Each structure stands twice: as structure tokens, then as C-alpha cells.
Amino acid sequence: MQQFDVLIVGGGMAGATAAVSIKKQIPDCRIAVVEAFAPKANSHPSFDDRSIALAEQSVDYLSKLNLFNKTWPFAERISQVNVSDRGHFGKASITPEEYQVEALGYVVEVNPYGQFLHQQLQSQDITLFCPAKVKSLTQHTEHVEVELDTEQSPVVQTKLLVIADGAHSPTRNLLNLEFDSFPYEQGALIANVKVSPGHQGQAFERFTSQGPIALLPMSEDRFSVAWCMNKDALEAVLGLDDSAFLARLQQEFGYRGGVFEAVGKRSRYPLVHGRISSVIHHRVVVIGNAAHAIHPIAGQGFNLGMRDIQCLVSQLQASDIATWGDHAFTQAYKVARDHDIGRVMTLTDGLVRLFSNESRSVAFGRSCGLMMISLFLNLKAPLARQLMGRVQ
């Protein structure tokens, strides 16, 4: 029976990043990853690649581990963030120069970045079970026993089990860990659009009567668009041809970002607010989307998971390997993460509700707030720190 110090279930963005981060910083540990799906073949980034925003703090952490390179063709610098409320006077902008950083963050395309992370998994001394799923698990005093569903049905043991298999985590369900969630009335339309004359690295968060529209800069002068709206409107917009869609988006967003010239594949994305009942269990920690699901309004989802990873690695480094996964270890992880997770989830849900309220007095208050933020750097600083992931 194979024995590991850490077994990570899920080899996606969070799981792969966690595995490689741990191995690079604690080379002597025995680590394995269980991933259900073999990676796609290498391909050139397509027009339709999904993207995620990496906050400045996440970029800094990954760069030190050689897990991020600012010169990658599928990474785009965020040179400015613009926030506005359609039909109202309030607006605010945040720039790197105001906080003496090179960039507020970077936007990376998920497909090529996922390929890179999988290559990193294979280049490290990490055992990879792929394709494989967890069939059953049994928690013992000193270890967790995990049975996999491959042909040989191997059983492996680990001091610490890390669950990172996504928002619909089947492993979380095996432990009967409740995931308290509720759907928002809105859904999100996800697409990439080509813009003229170019985005110059600017990102936008535009609040409209339909819902927020987020534009993130991508390579080749594309924006990654997340357009939130009620579900009936979402179905209607999905049914438009490309020309009508671009015209509708231009009408709703305006021309601050340029002229939208072309659009790739459009897809819908459900918007859910959810949190696991506890990020720990006996010899288990839960990270990333398996632990928390938040609205994309502030681009905090993956960065919250990145801070899960950083906290976990720091705790592993500070602990004797014999204590990994014991009660004191998991309790310390829970204490370290609960406040940050709760604060970010409250913040994003509050923003959704604030900017979904069509009351004239509330709208006036929003505008005044944005105007004050734009005028006074000390009022802007908390928003900027959150955006950059500098929340400690």
C-alpha cells in the first residue's frame, strides 16, 4: 500500500497549484494527486478560452515559485481598473502607480495555463493518479485510507487529505460535509470579444440595470466578458446572432472600452453564493471552489483559493511532518482561513445587492461613494488592497 504525507483530490487549477507549491517548498514530502480527467492535448489558445484574474499578490507568490511568467503570450497585464454605475455620475479608477506596483494583476487564459500546471505536476516528484476518482475513504486516527476507482482499485494512505475537486466536489459529499448555498436570480454570460483600437490593459466593472458587466483584458486585444443579467434576458441574449449581440453589449456598456468588433462562443454560467459548513474534517482540509463559491463581481474567486493554498503551505512548513493532518493542524488551518473567507464572501454578496438596488436614494449614495473613492486615496486604499489580494 502506497503511503503519502499529502494526498490532493483534484488536479485542476487549485489542486495542481497546491501540489506543486507544496513540493517546491517542502521537497522531502511524499505527495500525490488524484485527477478524474486526463488533460487535453496541447493546442494554441483559442478565441474562446476562458480566463481568470490573478491578483497582484497571487502573481507575486506564483512568480517566486516559477509558476507564473509575465511574458507569457496568454497572460495580460491589468494596467487600470475602472468602476462605473451606468446612468449615474459616480465612477472610480485604480492604477498600479498609486500603490507602487507594476500591475494590479494579470489575466491568464485557463487552457494554456492549465497545460503548464499539468506539465509542472509531471516534472516534479509527485505521484499522479489520472484518470482516477475517489471510490471510498476511511478516516483513521493516524491516517486516511483512500480507495481509487481505477482497474486495480488501489488503496492508498495519507496523513493529510486535501479536497480540491471543485464546486460540485464528490469527495466533499463522501464526508457528508454540507455546502450551504443559494443561487442568485441572475446568471452570467461568458464570452471573449475583440475590441478596437485595443484595451491598453484596462479592466472595467460597469454596473447596469441588467446587472454588472466585467471586462478583463486578454491577449490579442480581446476582452473576457462576464455579463450578469436575469435568466430570461440571458436566454434572449444568448439567442442573438453575433452582430446583434455586439450591438446589444455596446449599447449596455458604452464606448469607454472601445468598439466591440467580434465575439467568440457564448456560454451561460450559474451564479451561486455558497460556503462549506467547515473547511476541515478529521485529517482533511478543503480548499478552492470545493470550499467556497462567490459571485464574480470583484474577481476574487480564484484568488481566495490561492490564499487557501498559501495558508496551507505555510502551516505545513511550520509543522513537524509527523503532525500533518492531526487535530491541532486542521484546527489551526480553520482559524487561519475563516475570517478571510467570511469577509470576502460578505463583501462580494454585499456589492451584488448594493448595485442591484434600483432605489434612487441608494443609486445616489452609490454615486457619491464612487466619487469620494475617486477623489481620496485613503478611501480607495481598502478597495485597491482587496483587488490586489493584499488583505492581511
Q: Does the pLDDT at position 32 exceed 50?
A: yes
Average confidence (pLDDT) over 154-182: 94
Residues whose CB falls within 8 Å of the CB of residue 240, separated by 6 or more in sequence, listed in order: 248
- Residue 216 phi/psi, 5° resolution? -115, 135
pLDDT-derived band at 358 (thresholds 50, 70, 90) equals low
Distance of alpha carbon 374 from alpha carbon 92, whole angstroms? 5
Average confidence (pLDDT) over 33-53: 72
Out of 32-46, 84-98, 201-215, 299-313, the most confident range is 299-313
pLDDT-derived band at 93 (thresholds 50, 70, 90) equals confident
- Residue 175 phi/psi, 5° resolution? -95, 0
Q: Does the pLDDT at position 364 exceed 90?
A: no
| Higher pLDDT among residues 180 and 373, named by residue | 180
Q: What per-residue confidence (pLDDT) applies to 99? A: 79
Q: What is the residue extent of each domain of the chain?
A: 2-44+112-180+272-352, 51-107+184-271
Q: What per-residue confidence (pLDDT) applies to 41? A: 55
pLDDT-derived band at 300 (thresholds 50, 70, 90) equals confident
At 140-161, the pLDDT tens digits run 999 999 999 987 768 999 999 9
Evaluate whether 2-44+112-180+272-352 and 51-107+184-271 have a shared fold. Answer: no
CATH number belonging to domain 2-44+112-180+272-352: 3.50.50.60
Average pLDDT, the chain: 87
Average confidence (pLDDT) over 97-115: 90
Q: State the angle between helix axes of 360-375 and 377-388 in degrees (0 to 180), rounded to the nearest 10.
A: 90
Distance of alpha carbon 56 from alpha carbon 388, whole angstroms? 5
Average confidence (pLDDT) over 334-352: 86
Reference 289, options 372, 171, 144, 207; nearest CA is 171
Choice among 29-33, 189-193, 351-355, 375-379 with the minimum mean pLDDT? 375-379
Distance of alpha carbon 115 from alpha carbon 34, whole angstroms? 16
Residues whose CB falls within 8 Å of the CB of residue 206, separated by 6 or more in sequence, listed in order: 83, 84, 86, 212, 213, 214, 215, 252, 253, 254, 256
Q: Does the pLDDT at position 263 exceed 60?
A: yes
Q: Reply yes or no on domain 51-107+184-271 having CATH 3.30.9.10.
A: yes
